Amino acid sequence: MKKTRVFVAGHQGMVGSALVKLLASRSDLELVVRSRAELDLSNQQLVSEFFQENAIAQVYLAAAKVGGIQANSSYPADFIYENLMIQCNVIHAAHVANINQLLFLGSSCIYPKITEQPISESALLTGELEPTNEPYAIAKIAGIKLCEAYNRQYARQYRSIMPTNLYGENDNFHPTNSHVIPALIARFHQAKVSNASTISIWGSGNAQREFLHVNDLAAAAIHVMELPEQTYNAHTQPTVSHLNIGTGKDCTIKELAQTLASIIGYQGEIVFDQSKPDGTPKKCLNVSRMHALGWQHKISLEQGLADTYQWYLNQETLRHS
């Protein structure tokens, strides 16, 4: 049996590694991966040569420059430039190589800062973006529209999914340049180890966020990639350029912090620094279209957080051994 050759761009990142783990268990697929040192996706010529030299049938575009509020605020040029270059190079080169199936992974930050909740796919481009991550969001919107344009002009099957806030193993646990869950796990753990009496968290704690375990996202991505064209089109009409991936449930940052403190065993005081930004006040996705297409998340937030903390502990043990 001839195997389908699948390229996972960004295979060493959190999303890419979760995809590789699931795809590697399939006997009908042959995985193709390249590290950043082997293939710089921001280099147009190298990406073009890679696709011309490899008979790829499917592309998962999970490569991106990502970070939390502070990283986005500090490096806006890096976030918009690097993401635009990666997306344009991979999507166009895939088209030139006559690859018909591509899945682009975006982010729920594409939606307006203030919009109806839960957020449906149709909310895209209906209002102003959250200023702190606007460059990243604009790059991701461009990726969606790029896929949409190739589908319209060349009848490609380039599909886009917009996951909510992700967490899980292989995340970036840097205390300041990471997303909220890994940053808090690292900080709560260190506070526990050092017996710190207080821990300070950005914002009021009232902002509401939805979180999805990366293994659930990987399953959703494969589900969408492999949907028959007729089934996919039937559930994305009237025309939708992308699909929301999430749980449809959110919690406040304060509730998240309290849950993590309990899991980690930190017993000090949690202080919220209201001089720092909250970001978007509420962000929960409408995932009814994905439910209609036969996918739902399986990992509860509490279980996912416990598993992620255990993975973090294992990595800390390896790092210090």
Distance CA 5, CA 50 (A): 13
Which of 60, 136, 150, 266 is catalytic? The answer is: 136
Answer yes or no: is 320 a known binding residue. Answer: no
Which own/partner pairs from 34-42 qualify as long-range (CB within 8 Å, at least 24 positions apart)? 36/12, 41/9, 41/10, 41/85, 41/86, 41/89, 41/90, 42/82, 42/85, 42/86, 42/89
The reply, when asked if residue 39 is annotated as ligand binding, is no
Residue 12, marked binder: yes
Distance CA 77, CA 135 (A): 7
Residue 33 known to bind ligand:
no
Active site residue 136: yes
- Is 105 annotated in a binding site? The answer is yes
Please, where are the H alpha helices in the chain? 14-23, 44-53, 69-74, 76-96, 134-154, 180-193, 214-225, 229-235, 253-264, 288-292, 301-320
Check the annotation: does 289 bind a ligand: no
CA 13, distance to chain mean position in Å, is 10
Residues in the chain: 321
168 belongs to an annotated ligand binding site = no
* 300 in a known ligand binding site: no
What gap in Å lies between CA 80 and CA 76, rounded to an integer? 6
146: which 2 tokens? 């790029």
Specify the DSSP element, H or E, that contains 63.
Answer: none
246 is in an annotated binding site: no
293 is in an annotated binding site: no
10 carries a ligand binding annotation: yes
Q: How far apart are the first and last CA of the chain?
A: 44
The answer to whether 209 is a known ligand-binding residue is yes
Is 278 known to sit in a ligand binding site?
yes
Annotated binding site for substrate: 187, 202, 209, 278
Annotated binding site for NADP(+): 10-16, 105-108, 140, 163-166, 179
- Residues with catalytic roles: 136
